[in-house]
Structure 1
Amino acid sequence: MRFLTYEFFCGKGVGVKQDISILSEGFSLLKLIAEGLKRTGNYTVVIMSSSLIEMGYRINVDKVIETSGNENFPDFIREKADEEEIDFVFPIAPDLELVKIVEFLNSEFIGTVSSERCAIRIAADKFETYKVLKESGIRTPWTDLLLDDTHIYEYPVIVKDRYGISCENLSLINNSRELETLR
Structure 2
Amino acid sequence: MNVLLTSSGRRGYMVNYFKKVFNPIGGKVHTCNSERLCSSFKAADAYIVAPKIYDDGYIDFILSYCADKNIKLIVPLFDVDLLILAKYKSIIKSHGITVVVSNEEVVRICNDKWSTYKFLKSQGVAVPRSFIDVDSVIKANQDGILAFPLMLKPRWGMGSIGIRKIHSVSELKFFDDYVKTEIKNSYLKYESAITPDQQIIYQEYIEGDEYGLDIVNDLNSNYYFTYVKRKLAMRSGETDIAVYEDNKDLRTLGQEIASSLKHIGNLDMDVITSNGLHYVLDLNARFGGGYPFTHALGVDLPRLIMEWVLQIKPTDFKFKDLSNDVFFKDIIVS
Q: 8 Å contact 2:4–2:75 — kept in the other structure? A: yes
Matched letter for residue 28 of structure 1:
G
What TM-score do you get using the length of structure 2 for normalisation?
A: 0.42
Normalized per residue, the structure richer in helix is 1
Shift in CA distance, 78/161, structure 1 to aligned 2, threshold 3 Å: same
Deviates more, 1:44-53 or 1:78-87: 44-53
Relative to structure 1, the CA distance from residue 160 to residue 85 in structure 2 (aligned partners, 3 Å threshold; closer, same or farther) is same
Unaligned stretches of 5+ in structure 2? 142-146, 177-334
What residue is the counterpart of 2:119 in the other structure? 132
Q: Show the counterpart of 1:160.
A: 153
- How far apart are 1:30 and its partner, in Å? 4.6
Q: Does 1:81 align with 2:62?
A: no
Residues 5, 34 of structure 1: 8 Å contact kept: no
CA change 1:147–1:106 in 2 (3 A) is: farther
- Tell me the percent identity: 18
Q: Following the alignment from structure 2 to structure 1, what is the Cα–Cα distance between the partners of residues 85 and 40?
A: 27
Residues 98-140 of structure 1, C-alpha deviations (whole Å, 9 max, x = no match): 2113322422423211222221111111110011111001111
- The two structures, once aligned, show a CA RMSD in angstroms of 3.1
Aligned-pair CA distance for 1:69 = 5.4
Please identify which structure carries the higher strand content.
2
**Which residue of structure 2 lines up, in the alignment, with residue 66 of structure 1?**
48
How many Å separate the matches in 2 of 1:33 and 1:56? 12
User: Does 1 or 2 have the higher relative contact order (CA < 8 Å, sep 6+)?
Assistant: 1
In structure 2, what is the equivalent of residue 13 of structure 1? Answer: none
- Number of aligned pairs? 163
Please give the secondary structure, in 2, of the residue aligned with 1:166.
coil
Pick from 136, 139, 148 the counterpart of residue 151 of structure 1. Answer: 139
